[in-house]
Structure 1
Amino acid sequence: MNALLRQAWLAVRPLTAQQRFLARCGTLLLASGVLHVAVAIVDWSPWWGPVTWRKPVVFALSFGILAWSAVWVLRQLPASRFGWVPAGLLGGGAVAEIAMITTQRWRGEPSHFNPEPGLDSAIWSAMAQVVILVAVALAILLGWALLRFEGTPAARVAVIVGLAGIQVAGYIGFDMAATGEAVVDATGRVPESVRFGAEGSAKLAHALGLHGLQTLGVLAVVFGLRPLPGRTQVWLMVVASAGYAGVFASVALTAYAGRPWTSPTAAMALLGLAGAAAVAAVYAFAARRLLPVLGRRPAGVVR
């Protein structure tokens, strides 16, 4: 078990100054998320709504994981000073975004769609600009991976599909912002939750797009712990990628149809279930290959 953990760490640990910068930003954000979990427990205020500890927690953890995922991506791209562009935009942008969200929660003000003049509207405007910088960083990583990827073919599939999913999530996020602004213009109030149509789950669709890189990246790392033939790894990753895309498409299209994710059409339900089954099957296969290693006794241990 310890040997596997060490191998996994060696596969993702930062090696260059750019990667270490991203890793530090990611670690800072993860620590902030965990800290605010404790604050939320102590405060015991509502978890949902425009002013809630959920936002500093969820956004910090999400951006922290994304930063560490970008470390793994950069490890498989050519060493270049150019890497400071996506690393700086992503790491710095993520920290700035979470700092503003967290500041607003401590002030007792909504962080998103806040129309109040002065500091509140300035922070909301700045958040929108910073997110664009993060999106540019991720688009650069996607283009770079398409042109100069140096990792395994299976990891290349995981990175390209994962980063493409983030681009789609960015489009969904843009629509969420437009929808929230429309609610504010119509009612003069910050919405409790952004929905597409009557009950479309915009947040879930957005989240699924953001975290496909981790879903597929974990598989790529696991494949490296007990390597399979390269062609087999690629086919397994293609199956998992198609499954992820099916789940994401099902949830996103259901959201845009204005339906809750628990009530999709028959076609969307079939697509989502088939996709989830494909991802689960590949994960089960990967886990099964690790079981002999996990169950192996360290040398010299006698029972």
Structure 2
Amino acid sequence: MNVPGGYANEVWRAVRPVDRYQRLLWWCGTAMAASGAVHGAVALVDFAPWWGPVSWRKPVVFGVSFGLMAWAVVWILRQLAARWWIRAGAGLVVLTSVAEAVLITAQRWRGTASHFNQATDTDAAVWSAIGTLVLLLVLGVVVLCVAALVRFEGRPASRVAVLVGLAGVLAAGAIGQKMAAIGEQVFDDTGHVPYEILFGAAGSAKLAHAVGLHGLQLLAVLAILCEAGRLGDRAAGAVTGVAALGFAAAFAAITVTAYDGRAPLHPSAAMGVTLVAGLLAAAAATLVALAHVSPRRGAQSRSAATSAS
């Protein structure tokens, strides 16, 4: 059997940067994730409220989230043709993420809200810049989607994870656009940044947005483990496909529940069944992947050492 350290090694082998450009993007992601961790420590000692429009939660969540996105982009790049337009799309995703994380963090240190805030000229300029950066990030994601469709050089499981994961990111972007419209309307009506964005009475916009953004990382890890194990390409692709369907079903259920104005724990009967079915499918695929991960590299190294002795 493998061990957690073996799983981590397989993932690292698949995602580590292999050229100068990939290393640049990887270090950008690392810097953002580190910034999120540092601001988590600041939040612990500051004792400021975790929730609300002005909180340390935003530098933490956005730093870690964008960091994970940048690492995923490096993994995707490793499996695409080395074309300038593909690299430009990847760079657009990462560099706009860095810029947005910097603006969000700076606004928190200024003690003001980063999102929907148009109280002063500076705040309005920051919010406008964030909106523009999001559009550029989406453009970069679209470029990667096109590249994965026409120039993908990886194995089937990874292609499934990339295409479904990036589709989730684009769907999350559409949800984020609706959140922005609601937030701006509330600010126009009240002159204050809303405490929380809800769809209807209790729909969790943040949850739907977050799930869409991070399905890519979850599916990427699963695809890497499938491809590192004893499964053949067809079986690995099938297992990842089941997980992708499970993710899509769960994401759809969470999103529909949010748009219906329902709290996450109170979906309709149909969406509740869809959510459970999706989670079970993803969990089953994960168990299959973990069961078939082979410690082949470690075993080969030990075997070689034994033979040499």
Q: TM-score range by the shorter chain?
A: over 0.9
CA distance, structure 2, for counterparts of residue 143 and residue 298 of structure 1: 39
Q: Over aligned residue pairs, what C-alpha RMSD do you find?
A: 2.0
Q: Which structure 1 residue ranges, 5 or more long, are not aligned?
A: none
Which amino acid in structure 2 is aligned with residue 277 of structure 1? Answer: L
User: Deviation of residue 83 (structure 1)?
Assistant: 3.0
Partner of 1:191, secondary structure, is coil
Match of residue 272 from structure 1: 275
Matches within 5 A, 1:7-22: 7-22=10-25
Q: Out of 101, 106, 116, which is 1:103 matched to?
A: 106
Contact 2:77 2:87 in 1 (8 A): no
Partner of 1:20, secondary structure, is helix
Match of residue 118 from structure 2: 115
* Runs of 4+ deviating beyond 3 Å: 1-7, 290-301
CA distance, structure 2, for counterparts of residue 297 and residue 148 of structure 1: 33
Match of residue 185 from structure 1: 188
Match of residue 46 from structure 2: 43
User: Deviation of residue 44 (structure 1)?
Assistant: 1.2
Q: Out of 193, 201, 206, which is 1:203 matched to?
A: 206
User: Deviation of residue 295 (structure 1)?
Assistant: 11
Contact 2:114 2:126 in 1 (8 A): yes
Which amino acid in structure 2 is aligned with residue 258 of structure 1? Answer: G
CA distance, structure 2, for counterparts of residue 48 and residue 296 of structure 1: 48
Partner of 2:231, secondary structure, is coil
Match of residue 218 from structure 2: 215
CA distance, structure 1, for counterparts of residue 300 and residue 230 of structure 2: 21
Which amino acid in structure 2 is aligned with residue 28 of structure 1? Answer: A
Matches within 5 A, 1:24-43: 24-43=27-46
Matches within 5 A, 1:58-97: 58-97=61-100
User: Deviation of residue 6 (structure 1)?
Assistant: 3.6
User: Deviation of residue 88 (structure 1)?
Assistant: 2.3
Change (3 A) 1:288 1:96: same
Give deviations 1:213-253, integer Å, cap 9, x for gaps.
11110011101221412221121111111100000000000
Change (3 A) 1:219 1:93: same
Contact 2:86 2:147 in 1 (8 A): no
Which amino acid in structure 1 is aligned with residue 46 of structure 2? Answer: D
Q: Does 1:55 align with 2:55?
A: no
CA distance, structure 2, for counterparts of residue 3 and residue 45 of structure 1: 39
Match of residue 246 from structure 2: 243
Matches within 5 A, 1:95-174: 95-174=98-177
Which amino acid in structure 2 is aligned with residue 86 of structure 1? Answer: G
Q: Out of 251, 258, 262, which is 1:259 matched to?
A: 262
User: Deviation of residue 291 (structure 1)?
Assistant: 7.7
Contact 2:179 2:205 in 1 (8 A): yes
Partner of 2:81, secondary structure, is coil
CA distance, structure 2, for counterparts of residue 126 and residue 34 of structure 1: 24
Instruction: Provide TM-score, normalisation by structure 1.
Output: 0.94
